[in-house]
Structure 1
Amino acid sequence: MLAGIVTGFAFSKLVFSPVGDGAQGAWNAVLVILSATLISSGVTEAVDGYGFLAVFCAVRAGRFNTRGTEHEGYERYVHHGAEQLEAILLALLLLWLGVFAASGALLGLRWQEVAFALLLIFRVRPLAGTLGLLGHHCRLLPRWAVALFGIRGMGSILRIAYAQNHAEFADIETIWRIAVVTILGSILVHGHAANMLRPREAGMEVGDVYPHRGGPHRTAEKDAT
């Protein structure tokens, strides 16, 4: 955690320096988020830390470093860049997952495993999301949407592969089958329903998200005007 926090602070200082992307029109937000992810994770792993947690800490540290300053609007561009990277990586992972499933990963699939995967999608994850939102004040529909949809579970592939390479399991094939069914079911069910329930942000202009069409920190500039 400490390595991620330090990396996040240092990275945000560089980004908002006179030579950083924040001062150069925010044209390289995709490279910024990719670099921040790889550097914070790599530095932490080099000192035997947990890189996944370090990335989260680095992002929060960078956000804290800009909160309430003239650079606060920059996170819109970074968020948009992260969504682009996520879409690319998700397409690659889905391609691999399809090949993995077609190569025999689902052979021997039992109805109990399918039932458990459905339980994860429609009961366990919504309940965990609801508990996680306790104390957070928001409308009922957005609360249910966040609790129901959550994430697709692609990270489970990395964790199962890591566990398989570091310990012995009596029936690892069952875990793989449940994970594949859960991810495919989540993509099919939530991938379409989420777009129908996601509200559009009122008043958002193209320049608020796309730096090339609005310049850096357009939201802050509009407020100042």
Structure 2
Amino acid sequence: MDEAPDRAALLSALTTEHFVLQTANSATYTEASARSTLYVMALSSALVAMGFLAETPRNLLAFAFTVLPALFVLGLFTVMRLVETSLESMHYLAGIAAIRGHYRKLGRDAAQIFSAEAGRWPEVSSPAERLGPLLAFMGTTASMIAVINNMVAGAVVALAVSALMPSIHAGFSVGAGLLLLLALSVGFHAYQRWRFADYDAGKARAPDVEL
């Protein structure tokens, strides 16, 4: 007798939760975009300022060694947060997928309308995953900002080597910067994969909830 009202109340609650999860997921994209824009704008402003100081090498080096390390630290914080926003988005999408699983039980047509094949991750693989995990991780916003930030670190090292050893060939300074760029990029890739693996492990330990 009370089954119909209870089912209607559950459906209303699930619809509300679905909307909340979609809103929260959209917020992760907004935050990622805002943080990426903030970092790129800060870097662009610094490069413009360095352009004005190009005619005075001493002032240019002083400015570069003061501002670029600060930008690198800002980039580290930005990249770490971008990885977390990706994980938060995955968490919200998993919740939406669970709700869609309940929608499939609402009627004969619902199973087709809300089929897993017509859904999104984690019900189906994302297009990026079809290229392999390496390229999939390289395509994230965090990876994009990380590579730019690693270039900043490489530029600082190249400038430092050139300033400390002015007689050395320019190729050695550039090579030192490129080595640091490569090392930091590999380190970031390992960090990002570790965070995603840790998230997957935590999700596997969590109890399944049937709707």
- The TM-score normalised by the length of structure 1 is 0.30
- Answer 1 or 2: higher relative contact order, Cα 8 Å, separation at least 6: 1
When Rg is computed on C-alpha atoms for both structures, the one with the higher figure is 2
Q: Which has the higher helix share?
A: 2
- The TM-score normalised by the length of structure 2 is 0.32
